[in-house]
Amino acid sequence: LQFLRNLPKIELHAHLNGSLNIDSIRELAAKVYGVQTKEFSTLCERFIKFEKGAKLDDCFEKFGFVHELTSTKEGLEYATELVIRDFAKDNVIYVELRTTPKANGNMSRRSYLDTVLGVIKNKSDLYKIKVKLLPSINRAEPVAVAEETVALAVELATIEPEIIVGIDFSGNPNQGNFKDFIPVLSKARNHGLKLAMHCAEVDNPVEIREMIRFGMSRCGHGTYLSDSGFEHMKEENIPIECCLTSNVKSGTVANIGAHHLKQLMATCAPKVLCTDDSGVFDTTLSDEFFLATESFGLTKSQCIALTMEAVEHAFATREEKLMLKMQIYKYTRLQN
């Protein structure tokens, strides 16, 4: 495990509000809101507790807890820093954070994104980590909200092209209709933004076909892809973002042994290991690698190869990819 902890890692699928771990939530509550009660601790425990047989729908209810803490500028600012800090602590050297801009009495969607961007700009060097931002479309919200999000992303990407590099399509897959979002997703793509799409997270063959036809740069989860779906992803070099703990805890795969990572490894199909929501699912990227080694017998060199593969699929520039590969290579050479 120590080798995996120290391995410089690449995180490509991390939702900001889902990535606050329990200690950071307590820290955030205490520092920004002065909350340190026993009741709050109990709420935190409940946040990461999953009953056997939990359903994907149950998971989405958990986010409300963190969303309350990040509903002010100060809360969001500190939460973003804590998430960046926690990834860096786990030796993640590059992370693509996704987050849904939210409007409330305290913030507009623009100020939400400005706040997160500000922290990324000011704190990445401090924690020695490269951070990108993918504004998220929540498919459970109206298309008009997605249109605002994409318009903001397009505008902000002209100001911070090195940080805003794509759009995430997420939210409860049992809600909303993918087809309705095609025009707005096309707009994002036509403006040069990459698309990371939650696809085949639930068994909905019609929608899966529509998504595949539309195309994407990376596929989130891909749990319910058919054999021909997996083949298509391989042919098009579209990686599946595999989130082992998330898929098991939310019940989208029956057990870890049944996870499609096994098949992806066996067929040399493109794949990346990711955390999804390291806070909610109480994991780290090192833990995910460890779980993969325990469950599928991955060797050290396969773990290094997976990390290098993640660099290839990152929404980063060629120069950035070269730097990341050098960092990984330096570490692995020291180990030999």
* Residue 90 Cα to chain centre, angstroms: 15
Binding to ligand 5GP (CB under 6 A) within 97-116 occurs at 99-100
Smallest separation, CB 55 to ligand 5GP (Å): 12
Q: Are strands 194-199 and 218-221 parallel, antiparallel or unpaired?
A: parallel
- Interface stretch with ligand 5GP, choices 15-23, 41-49, 103-111, 151-159 (CB under 6 A): 15-23
Which residue of 18, 75, 166, 176 would you call a contact of ligand 5GP, by CB under 6 A?
18
- Interface stretch with ligand 5GP, choices 168-176, 223-231, 292-300, 312-320 (CB under 6 A): 168-176
Q: Are strands 194-199 and 240-242 parallel, antiparallel or unpaired?
A: unpaired
Under the binding rule (CB under 6 A), the answer on residue 149 touching ligand 5GP is: no
Cβ neighbors of 82 (< 8 A, separation 6 or more) are 20, 24, 27, 28
Cα angle for residues 209, 145, 170 (degrees, 5° grid): 40
Which residue of 77, 276, 287, 288 would you call a contact of ligand 5GP, by CB under 6 A?
276
Which residue of 198, 218, 260, 271 would you call a contact of ligand 5GP, by CB under 6 A?
198
Nearer to ligand 5GP, 173 or 229 (CB): 173
Tell me how crowded residue 321 is: count the other CB atoms within 10 A of its CB: 17
Nearer to ligand 5GP, 252 or 307 (CB): 252
Under the binding rule (CB under 6 A), the answer on residue 173 touching ligand 5GP is: yes
Report the C-alpha gap between 184 and 151 in whole angstroms: 9
For the question of residue 77 being annotated catalytic, the response is no
Binding to ligand 5GP (CB under 6 A) within 46-85 occurs at 63
Task: Kindly name the residue from 11, 201, 241, 288 that is annotated as catalytic.
Answer: 201
The length of the chain is 336
Under the binding rule (CB under 6 A), the answer on residue 14 touching ligand 5GP is: no
Under the binding rule (CB under 6 A), the answer on residue 15 touching ligand 5GP is: yes
Smallest separation, CB 99 to ligand 5GP (Å): 3
Report the C-alpha gap between 113 and 119 in whole angstroms: 10
Beta bridge partners of 98: 15, 134
Under the binding rule (CB under 6 A), the answer on residue 170 touching ligand 5GP is: yes
Smallest separation, CB 145 to ligand 5GP (Å): 12
Take residue 254 and report the two structure tokens written for it. 């029956």
Cβ neighbors of 123 (< 8 A, separation 6 or more) are 80, 81, 84, 85
Under the binding rule (CB under 6 A), the answer on residue 189 touching ligand 5GP is: no
Beta bridge partners of 219: 197, 240
Tell me how crowded residue 312 is: count the other CB atoms within 10 A of its CB: 15
Report the C-alpha gap between 240 and 101 in whole angstroms: 25
Three-state secondary structure of 106-127: CCCHHHHHHHHHHHHHHHCCCC
- Interface stretch with ligand 5GP, choices 13-21, 35-43, 229-237, 308-316 (CB under 6 A): 13-21
Nearer to ligand 5GP, 15 or 130 (CB): 15
Which residue of 10, 16, 95, 129 would you call a contact of ligand 5GP, by CB under 6 A?
16
Smallest separation, CB 103 to ligand 5GP (Å): 13
Under the binding rule (CB under 6 A), the answer on residue 132 touching ligand 5GP is: no
Cβ(281)–Cβ(291) under 8 Å? no
Give the DSSP per-residue string, 246-279: HHHHTTSSSSGGG-THHHHHHTT--EEE--B-TT
The footprint of ligand 5GP (CB under 6 A) covers 15-18, 63, 99-100, 136, 138, 170-171, 173, 198, 201, 246, 276-277
Active-site positions read 201
